[in-house]
Amino acid sequence: MAPVVARLVSQSKPYLVPGKLLVRELWFEVPLDHDNPEDTTKLKLFARSAIKYERLIVEPSPSEVEQRPYLVYLQGGPGMGTSAPQDSPLSKYMLDRGYSLLMLDQRGTGLSSTISANTLETIGSPQEQADYLKYFRADTLVKDSEAVRLCLTKDYPPEKKKWSTFGQSFGGMMTLTYLSFAPEGLRECFITGGLAALDKGPAEVYQATYKRCIERNHAYYKKFPEDVATVKWVAEKIIDLGGEKGVLLPTGGFLTVRRLMTVGLNFGAHGGVDRVHSYITRMKADLDQFGKFTRCTLNELEQDNVWDTMPIYTLLHEPCWCYGPGVAGKWAAERVGQSLEEYQWLQTDWAGPASLGEKPLYFSGEMIYPFHFETCSELIKLKEVADILAKYDKWAPLYDIQQLGRNEVPVYAAAYNDMYVDPDLARVTASRIKGIKVFETNVLFHNALRSNPDDVIPQLLKLRDDTID
């Protein structure tokens, strides 16, 4: 079957933003199911394009406007929308090289047929909602991307029809899917923090990432040794104040000890250790002065991550590690964590913080648990949907390892001291992609593209522009 070509619904008049960027807003339409030509369900995709603006002495006529090759940004997550071009570090480095940058919101994210509890309600029953969400993994996102590429480049000469991709985190995983099943659309690929395991299911992945998370906990308590006692004391107070259900949060969720432990997700990012310490300091200050938590503190904790605002991140997190048929999540993060001494708090019969003695409470990392759907106000409404997806094991393949082994598309990747994408597994993945060039460092963390772009993007461009030997 011929690939679907997206329909361009509308595009805005270009507008200029500071930094001499000429931005255009575009809306596309694609089918929910690319493999079913009879499908009448359509989704809207939103994107912003940007080029470097130069005020010429004589403005070119429409027929003389240059067709610049596209670089499309594949966002991390899953479930997160893209930033405006002027807020992306890619604009600084890539536009001067002649690319047209495309910031495409993946389906269900940003402005693209956004997924939330109330938009899913319109789909139908929990089973119908889960069936709908099965079309929001990387395999379908790649088909969307190809559909948009074919639409945007239909009048381009053959040498400009392919585009370049830049995938961060989950966007890197999506790149591996793209290279597996639609390499004909790719000129070159950049990947940062996204060399995920190709044939490891969620449980195997979490066995590796829990190890990295424990290491980051050690770094936290080494830097803030007084927090060994403080964190446990705060945890006891949460139990005293909130009981079994937890302390009510401003938008209707609940702060429990388990939910507090999830702020350890920050440990995988630059500044994350200090951010968690700031939370603990604020909580202790509230308790010392008022005997309870202030709204400001509770609001900060509730907004710490994207649990409520980007539900795809939780609903499809374990499924994004389900690499093919026969693999199901089955709440792997909880199952693996319950087997580890450091994560006794995941066990149903845990005796509480006092039972740890001198041992610290260990924070979790990038793990999704059933209790998210009991303590996060938006996710409470999606608990049944989450359970259905956790049991599902008929996922389409995400990767073609044989195709990656004969890959001809240039790939340039950055691999970090990464708590989210295990470096050892990343090396194995790199070894299975023909022709890939990798910049590896142990002094940068997963969010380095945003926090330290000057240490990342130039290194990737060196891999692209220079020779190794």
Enzyme catalytic residues: 169, 418, 446
Type of residue at 332: A
CB 272 within 8 A of CB 266: yes
Distance CA 152, CA 51 (A): 15
Helices and strands in the chain: count of H runs, count of E runs: 20, 12
Q: How many CA atoms are closer than 13 Å to the CA of 268, on its beta-carbon side?
A: 26
CB 443 within 8 A of CB 415: no
Distances (CA, A) of 144 to 30, 45, 68, 288, 311: 7, 9, 21, 53, 20
CB 91 within 8 A of CB 121: no
Q: 62-74 burial, b for 16+ CB within 10 Å, e for fewer?
A: eeeeeebbbbbbb
